[in-house]
Amino acid sequence: MNPTREVFENIPHHNWLYILATIGVISLIYGITRRIILWRKGKNINRTDRISTRLINTIKQIFIAPKQYYRSYRAIFHLLIFWGFAILFIGTVLVFSHEYFGFETMHGSFYLAMSFALDLFGILLIIGCILALFRRYILLPEGLDRKPEDLFTPILLILVVLSGFLVEGARISIAQPSFERWSFGGWAIASLFTGLSDTTRLILHRYLWWVHISLASLFIGLIPYLKLSHFLYAPLSIFTSSLEPKGHLPMIEDIEEQEVFGAPTIKDLTYKDLIDADACVRCGRCQEVCPAYNSGKPLSPKKFIQDLKLEMNTLSRVRKNNNGLEEIVGHTIQADELWSCTTCFACQEFCPIFIEHIPKIVELRRSEVLNVSRFPEELNLTFKNLETNYNPWGIGFADRDKWAEGLDIKRFEKPGDAEYLLFVGCMGSYDDRAIKAMRALVSILKKAGIDFAILGTEELCCGDSARRLGNEYLYQILTMENIEKFNERNITKIITACPHGYNTLKNEYSKFGFKGEICHHTQIITEAIKDGNINIGHKNSPTIVYHDSCYLGRYNNIYNEPREIIKRATGSNPFEPKNTRRSSFCCGAGGGRMWMEETIGSRINEVRFDELMGCGTDVIAVSCPFCLTMLNDGKKAKAPDSDIEIMDIAEIVERAIS
């Protein structure tokens, strides 16, 4: 017997299914169209360039290496639901292609293989939904909230698939051809109908078939209105994600001509921002890794995105004159939430669908700073100091190179004075603890025979803090003045010990016309060790735990060089804390938080210090002057009598040089 079956066997008047399907499709299209209309009210941004790169990235993230699979339990049920749904959808397409387009998909061995696959993945989808429900409603993880749609959505999916199995079982029970054993799920269910008369089985088959079609049509129609919508919007969020380096923030072009800065209202965010709000599935991964949230601050990245979604829904009631739009900050997002962010990038690093939290936060800060001058009081002095003395403390710019007294360092005054510019940064120039690390770096560079010079009093703040605090105008002034000094001296190679300076020089200055090679000091030291230009030993070496800086690690993927240096200096790999590499916990200084009071919840630097000290090592190693100061402050508060040292990588190397 040739394995086959009729698609609409025992289903008279099956054409009525097209009415149900049409209703479902109309509801689907209407729901999607409503969201597209809202997205189009956001500001335009070019996220349709480099189409092939975007398509490859989207396919890769969905099918090959999705970011959500970094934890096993989540990976299991996501894989089961995704591939179960995908295979059942493909199977449905194949059935209809056989019926209406003449493709021979319902005959022979192909039909048997398809039947087996559909049953297998249908069962796996049900298991995936049950695991998802178990996690949300039995395990009750802290990061997950529970709404009616969270229960309704997987139950609806289960009912659609389960009704399909019942239809299959009823159909098989009528004739029971032996080849239908390949439909092992339906074959097992067919036993439920044993003992019923042929007429009863025929009636049950028809009834169950219409129940299945009705549930499937309902499922299709509800996709845009339930959690199911992320099936559609998540790929779009991935496709429109930024292709710029992770450390790049969008610039305000022609800033002198702008009348409104940042995003005072929801309509001032970009269409990508609005897509993100719809794509968010409330998985809570951003919240789990947020240092602000985990230290008791009011900011939750998940809630932040969901609140923007609620605000976006008001756009449907707003006409072209924007009447009825509220300012986001103070209405939807509170000031304490906005200013709690350290811009550590953990939220974006672990978001499985590439939602961009930090650009939204910075856009809101830009609006607060540049439109209405509404920001934490202590930042008044920070901004004033940056404007007048080009550093956040307001120390006279004439003292910027005082740290270098007695070191005999060349000044970069004209082209050709040195191969590298050592861009010292504000911390290395003025902060007492960071100065010690900078002097150690200078000693290493000299021993390695590297030709370098500094700008001295000509150097200005790189502008990182100003930009991430929302003062884009001040950032652009500092940036353009620094670039002018670089160009006057034909500087094309820069060394910096500050990851914040490294990030903005490498990833953001290029947008203002500067082209050059930017090196972090861990990269230069690693190269010098490998080339044999400096010799280090590890006699009586201390045990070391390494703390990854957010702006060096997550932003710029520099993880191995600091560890290689520690291994060379001590003879063993550094200890790794619980939160390490891309999961590293912020020190609390980023996003301009270094210059702000921290009065809500626990201090982030103290939380991180406790974790690092718990490793029981002699030394906590860092590669960032901000981290160096913040963790030293954490030690003073939490363990003032401890012998543990907080040291920069450069200090460890200087101590180990033989």
Per the rule left: phi > 0, alpha: psi between -120 and 50, beta: everything else, 55 is alpha
CA 472/CA 484 separation, integer angstroms:
18
CA 354/CA 94 separation, integer angstroms:
32
pLDDT computed for residue 613 by the predictor: 96
Exposed (0-12), middle (13-18) or buried (19+): which is 485, by Cβ within 10 Å? middle
- What distances in angstroms separate CA 631 from CA 424, 481, 595, 637, one per listed residue? 20, 32, 15, 10
33: Cβ contacts below 8 Å, ≥ 6 apart: none
- What CATH number has the domain spanning 14-239? 1.20.950
Position 71 confidence tier, pLDDT thresholds 50, 70, 90: low
Q: What is the pLDDT of residues 121-144, one digit of tens each?
A: 999 999 999 999 998 899 888 878
321: Cβ contacts below 8 Å, ≥ 6 apart: none
CA 533/CA 631 separation, integer angstroms:
31
pLDDT computed for residue 540 by the predictor: 74
Q: Is the per-residue pLDDT at 157 higher than 90?
A: yes
Residue 360's nearest CA partner among 431, 274, 451, 422 is 274
pLDDT computed for residue 70 by the predictor: 56
Mean pLDDT value across the chain: 92
Residue 547's nearest CA partner among 590, 521, 520, 585 is 585
pLDDT computed for residue 325 by the predictor: 83
Residue type for 513, please? G
Q: Is the per-residue pLDDT at 7 higher than 90?
A: no
Q: What is the pLDDT of residues 292-321, one digit of tens each?
A: 999 999 999 999 999 999 999 888 776 555
CB 454 within 8 A of CB 401: yes
CATH says 255-371 is which class?
Answer: mainly alpha
Architecture of the domain spanning 390-528: Up-down Bundle (1.20)
CA 547/CA 565 separation, integer angstroms:
14
pLDDT computed for residue 66 by the predictor: 65
Q: What is the pLDDT of residues 185-233, one digit of tens each?
A: 999 999 898 888 989 999 999 999 999 999 999 999 999 998 888 889 9
pLDDT computed for residue 154 by the predictor: 92
Q: Is the per-residue pLDDT at 69 higher than 70?
A: no
The string of DSSP codes covering 349-401 is: HH-TT---HHHHHHHHHHIIIIIS--S-TTHHHHHHHHHHHSSTT---GGGTT
What does the domain layout of the chain look like in residue ranges? 14-239, 255-371, 390-528, 544-656
CA 212/CA 159 separation, integer angstroms:
8
Position 62 confidence tier, pLDDT thresholds 50, 70, 90: confident
CA 305/CA 312 separation, integer angstroms:
10
The 10 Å Cβ neighbour count of residue 53 is 10
CB 529 within 8 A of CB 536: yes
Structure tokens that stand for 525 in this block: 């030291």
3-state secondary structure of 404: helix
Q: What is the pLDDT of residues 95-127, one digit of tens each?
A: 888 877 777 887 889 889 999 999 999 999 999
pLDDT computed for residue 67 by the predictor: 64
Looking at residue 574, the DSSP 8-state letter turns out to be P
Residue 542's nearest CA partner among 622, 616, 611 is 616
Structure tokens that stand for 190 in this block: 């067919």
- What distances in angstroms separate CA 582 from CA 350, 545, 552, 603, one per listed residue? 9, 16, 10, 21
CB 625 within 8 A of CB 427: yes
